[in-house]
Amino acid sequence: MNFLIFLSGKGIFKKLNQLLSVFNSKFEYNYSIERSVHKEAFELFFKDLRPLSTSYQLIRVGSYNDGGYLIPNDLEGIKYCISPGVGKTINFEADLLERFNIQSFLADPTVERPDNLKAGIDFESMGISYVQDFQEIKAMESQELKLSNMCTLKDFMSFKIPDTEADLILQMDIENAEYLALLSSSIKTLSRFRIMIIEFHSIPKIFNEIYFEQVVSPLFKKLNRIFYPAHVHANNVAKPLKFFKYKIPHSLEITFHNRSRVSSRNEPVFKPIRDELDSPCDPTKPEVFLDLNLFS
C-alpha cells in the first residue's frame, strides 16, 4: 500500500521517514513522505497550459463522451493518425476515417484486437515506451499480467509510415507511460505531428519535486517549443483532489497544435478554458470542471 504526502518544509523528512520505516515494517505498509514541488513552479505549470485561440476553430471528433476530443479544424493534407492506447473505444479513429479519410495505426497491449476493424484502421498488440524492450502489462479485461513487446514512438512510426511523411496526428492515452515516452522522443519526431491529443494521468502525483524537475518540467518545456495548447479538458474518471488552494483533476486531456501552423499575423491569444463542445468522458459521473484559478 502506497501513501504519498506532499510537504514543502525542510529538515523533518529524514526523521519522519525513519519513524515511518518502523511503522511500515510492523504493519507491512509502505508509507513515505516526499517533498512537493514549490508552489510557484506548480502555478506556472498550469498558467503555461492556458489554451490559445487562433483562426483555426475547434471541432469535436469522435463520440460525445469517451473517445471524443476537441481539435483545431486544421486537418487538410493529413493522411495518418498514430494512436497508442486503444482502451474500449476507437470512435475517434473511426470518425477521422469516415469524415476526413485519415487512416489510423493503433497500438495497445492491454486489449484484444477490436472486432471488425475497417480498412484504414490498423492494430498492433504493442506498447509505446521510452525503450524497446519487453514489459509486464496488465490486461484491461482480465487484469492479468502478460509479457508485451514495447517500442518507442519513433520506432512505431517508422514501422508503419515513411519517415518522410509529416503532418500527422497523435492521439495518446497510455496510462502514465506518456511522460517518459514523450520526453524520450526527439524534437524531430514530435515536430512531425500537426496535432497531438495527449491524456496525462495521475496529475496530483506528478508534483513530487524530483519527478516534476526531472521529467514533467523538461517534457512540457520541450512540448512548448513545438506546440501551443489549443484545448484542455479534465477527465471525470475521479473526483479532483485539493493541492495548495486548488482543485486538481485526476487526469487532463490536452490538445496541442503545432506552432508552425500559426503565422506571425495570427498570433494566438488566450481563450476561455471551457468550451461549449466539451462533455464528460463518463456520462454516468458528474463533470469535473477545471479550477479556473489554476489558469489565471
Structure confidence by residue, pLDDT tens digits, 71-88: 999 999 999 999 999 977
Structure confidence by residue, pLDDT tens digits, 251-285: 999 999 999 998 754 556 778 788 888 999 999 99
Residue 3: pLDDT band with limits 50, 70, 90: very low
What is the average pLDDT score of the chain? 87
| pLDDT at residue 140, rounded to an integer | 78
User: Which range scores top for mean pLDDT: 7-21, 127-141, 167-181?
Assistant: 167-181
End-to-end Cα, the chain, rounded Å: 36
Give the E-state strand segments of 76-132 in sequence order.
80-84, 103-107, 121-124, 127-128
Q: Which helix (H) or strand (E) holds 211?
A: helix 209-211
CATH of 38-295, one of 3.30.420, 1.10.3470, 4.10.940, 3.40.50: 3.40.50
| pLDDT at residue 273, rounded to an integer | 85
Give the position of cell 517534457. 219
| pLDDT at residue 143, rounded to an integer | 82
Nearest CA-CA partner of 234 in 179, 172, 169, 292: 292
Residue type, 97: L
The DSSP output letter for 294 is: G
Mean pLDDT within 128-155 = 85
| pLDDT at residue 270, rounded to an integer | 77
Structure confidence by residue, pLDDT tens digits, 81-119: 999 999 778 999 999 999 999 999 999 998 888 887 889
Domain definitions of the chain by residue range = 1-35, 38-295
Question: Residue by residue, what is the 3-state secondary structure of 155-204?
Answer: HHHHHHCCCCCCCEEEEECCCCCHHHHHHCCCHHHHHCEEEEEEEECCHH
